[in-house]
Amino acid sequence: MEELYRAALALDPGNAYLLEHGHPGWIDGQIRTFHLYRPYLPQSGAVLDWGCNHAPDSCMLRAWFGNRFDFHSCDFVESSRYAVFHDYARVAHTQLVGAGSLPYPDNFFDAVIGSGVLEHTAMDYEALKELHRVLKPDGVVVITHLPNWLSLQEWRRRVILKRDFHRRLYSKREARQLLKRAGFYPVAEGYHTFIWERILGRLGLAHEEQTPRLLTRLTPPLAFCGTLYLVARKVLAM
């Protein structure tokens, strides 16, 4: 991942988004999140990187699984904007032109990955219903980086900085109920992106093994965790 960010920044050195997400602490968090949902993915099939932007999840999937999956991605952003990542992931990218339906047939995908996407949709319930449509029965939906409603980081952005905050926040209970109403049954959930991850990154300790595990156990998640992740399966009846 670090090599991909370096290559992309060499082409666009002033890209603030890539500079932020290419930080070692941030990359380490992306990789940890990937390994949280990786065990729930199917053995094979078509995977959609929904709202992919620069497609880091597709890159990690390609690096880990090789040609096991048929990768697709979609976003309002053209793939050429982040060609380094999209070329590495070898995804079939579709540029979205509206906030409504997805340009895929019913029951097409075996898994959908939505990293930092659901909270930005105009209607989260309708967006999940559309994911339910394009997923095969028992297909897996992965939602990551969902803003935690009690996060101190969100409170700081909203109250003190008054910028870069999310307009919609979620509790685990609310997120579970939202998924169920849209036809998904949750099978895994938890907190990720803790405050200490960035601190370790700045100290050059992002890749240490024991320190993150200890801090995860000691950190109160409700306040010191920025986001939630959930994994659910498409069901036809509850």
Lowest mean pLDDT among 107-111, 137-141, 155-159, 226-230: 155-159
Structure tokens at 164: 């870069």
Rg of the chain, C-alpha, whole Å: 17
The predicted structure's pLDDT at residue 209: 47
User: Where does the pLDDT of residue 96 fall: very low under 50, low under 70, confident under 90, or very high at 90 and above?
Assistant: very high
Give the pLDDT mean for 20-46.
91
| Nearest CA-CA partner of 225 in 172, 158, 159 | 172
Sheet with 92-95, edge to edge strand ranges: 92-95, 69-75, 45-50, 109-115, 135-147, 225-234, 184-194
The predicted structure's pLDDT at residue 55: 96
**DSSP-assigned states of every residue in the chain:** -HHHHHHHHHH-TT-HHHHHHTSHHHHHHHHHHHHHHGGGS-SSEEEEEET-TT-HHHHHHHHHHTTSEEEEEEESS-GGGGHHHHHHHT-EEEE--SSS--SS-TT-EEEEEEES-GGGSS-HHHHHHHHHHHEEEEEEEEEEEEEBTT-HHHHIIIIII-SS--S--B-HHHHHHHHHHTTEEEEEEEEEEEHHHHHHHHTT-TT-SHHHHHHHHHS-HHHHEEEEEEEEEE-S--
The predicted structure's pLDDT at residue 154: 77
Share of the chain above pLDDT 70, in %: 87
Residue 33 reports pLDDT greater than 80: yes
Residue 54 reports pLDDT greater than 50: yes
CB contact at 8 A, 145 and 33: yes
List the CATH number of the domain containing 92: 3.40.50.150
The predicted structure's pLDDT at residue 161: 83
Give the pLDDT mean for 195-216.
51
Domain count, the chain: 1
Q: Tell how far CA 181 is from the center of its chain.
A: 21
| Nearest CA-CA partner of 118 in 66, 31, 182, 214 | 182
Residue 219 reports pLDDT greater than 60: no
Give the pLDDT mean for 169-187.
96
The predicted structure's pLDDT at residue 168: 92
The predicted structure's pLDDT at residue 210: 45
The pLDDT mean for the chain works out to 88
**φ and ψ at 186, to 5 degrees?**
-65, 140
pTM, entire model? 0.87
Residue tagged 């500079």 (tokens): 19
Give the pLDDT mean for 79-99.
93
Residue 24 reports pLDDT greater than 70: yes
Residue 112 reports pLDDT greater than 90: yes
User: Where does the pLDDT of residue 220 fall: very low under 50, low under 70, confident under 90, or very high at 90 and above?
Assistant: low
Domain that holds residue 54: 2-234
Residue 211 reports pLDDT greater than 50: no
